Amino acid sequence: MSTAKPKPRPFYGWVIVLGCALMMGTTVGLFFNCNGVFVKPVCDDLGFSRGAFTMYTTIVSFLSMFMQVIYGDLYRRHRVLPISRAAAVILCLSIVGYSFSTKIWHFYLFATINGLVQVPVAVLAIATLVNRWFIDKRGLATGIAYSGSGLTAALMTPVLTRVVADYGWRTGYRVLAAVGAVPILLAVFVLLKEDPAEMGQTPLGASPAAADASATAAPVLLPETVGLTRAEALRTPCFALMVLSFIIILFCGMGVNPHIISYLTDIGYSDGVASSVSSLIMAVMIVGKISMGAVFDKVGAFWASVMTGLCVVASMVTLALCGTSPIMPYVFACCFGFGYSAGSVPLSFLVGENFGSREFSGIYSFLSMMSGVVASFGTSIIGMLYDRLGSYSSIWLIWSAMAVLCTGTLTLSAVLARKGNYNPAAIGRRK
């Protein structure tokens, strides 16, 4: 009498993707992408200049980028989730702290705390977890995980705009913290698991030879885990070009985003239109990140680089044209949804494709830190240029030219990586 074989458990990696999406939706979607709602109300109430006030977002960005290398090294020796759980609690409290601020240095203080603890609940932790759970469909999984930032911001931007208008910016920050605490704590304390071995599974797409290793609790070293070490990657021209490219991409993404609502209202659009454009951007980001990841899996590093650059160019050009027609802000929103996505999904995907998985977290964190530390000044630079020029128009033209440059440098980096055979596994998949 034969006994039926037990059904295999559903692959838990997709639950990991959900948890990562919730984590990304809080840290980036709510706590960063919604900052634009507060710029005018806080500056008008407390008498800050836009350049001085938006410096607090620069502090968050600068420190979070700088800390990526430190956390990247920690992840090579310690588990990810205990660090993420402590960071999630502190991060939510720092947002509450903004609501009690009366001086500019108060914002800078809580921004410092925010920046020091953001990495374990943001892109590095997400990229590390996805890279551990996925070999096949890594681009799609990354895109879905990062899409959480668009969904939460799309839902909350109009809500926060109304809350700030009706009850003030202090209440707005408290609502933001309370809403954000629910998904991020659910993710880090309940949904996320460190490695496939904890669930008796192997990464999606792992070779059969890796199956026996699933009984161990340590990360599984797979035959597919090939590529350069961090020390080797840092010496390549491909790495330098990627750093330059992502400095520009982040300048055009996270540097521009906090100014969009202020820019649109400055050129005559109502608060309602500006808020709806901001929400549309975040909604398009959901589609942008998922579709980017799915397409990248099929086309590889070269065409992924071309597509990434062109998305950034389109977003900057349409931003400069927003004053020419009432339709253009919505055209810009659609383009910027993809252009803003270029700072997350392509970075993780291209690091894996160009350099391999051998030391993914080390290479990813170092590249992200080097590009992000410089780009973290983007918001403040735009604010200071605005204070000097009294307009955003010429700023967007300069940013458009930089976007064209980054299309070329990013594409060249992919060509050099393939020519140098840095990641034979990726080349083998594309043949």
| Interval 415-431: pLDDT, tens | 999 998 887 766 555 55
Least confident of 126-130, 223-227, 320-324: 223-227
Q: Give the residue extent of every domain in the chain.
A: 13-194+226-430
CATH number of this structure's domain 13-194+226-430: 1.20.1250.20
Looking at residue 427, its pLDDT comes to 56
Looking at residue 272, its pLDDT comes to 85
- Residues 243, 239: Cα–Cα separation, whole Å: 6
Which of 16, 20, 21 lies closest to 285 in space, CA to CA?
21
Which of 14, 290, 37, 248 lies closest to 150 in space, CA to CA?
290
Which of 230, 178, 167 lies closest to 359 in space, CA to CA?
230
- Residues 147, 132: Cα–Cα separation, whole Å: 19
Check whether 209 has a pLDDT greater than 60.
Answer: no
Looking at residue 228, its pLDDT comes to 87
- Residues 306, 308: Cα–Cα separation, whole Å: 5
Residue 153 sits at the vertex; the CA angle it makes with 189 and 164, to the nearest 5 degrees, is 105
Q: pTM score, two decimals?
A: 0.70
Looking at residue 258, its pLDDT comes to 82
Average pLDDT over residues 247-260: 89
Task: Find which of 27-36, 111-120, 402-411 is predicted with most confidence, using mean pLDDT.
Answer: 402-411
Report, in angstroms and rounded to the nearest whole number, the Rg of the chain calculated over CA atoms: 21
Reported as a pLDDT band with limits 50, 70 and 90, residue 7 is low
> Cβ contacts of residue 198 below 8 Å, gap of 6+?
217
| Interval 377-387: pLDDT, tens | 888 889 889 88
Check whether 5 has a pLDDT greater than 60.
Answer: no
Would you give the end-to-end CA distance of the chain in angstroms?
47
The Cβ-side half-sphere exposure at 191, using a 13 Å CA radius, reads 20
φ and ψ at residue 356, rounded to 5 degrees: 90, -175
Looking at residue 199, its pLDDT comes to 83
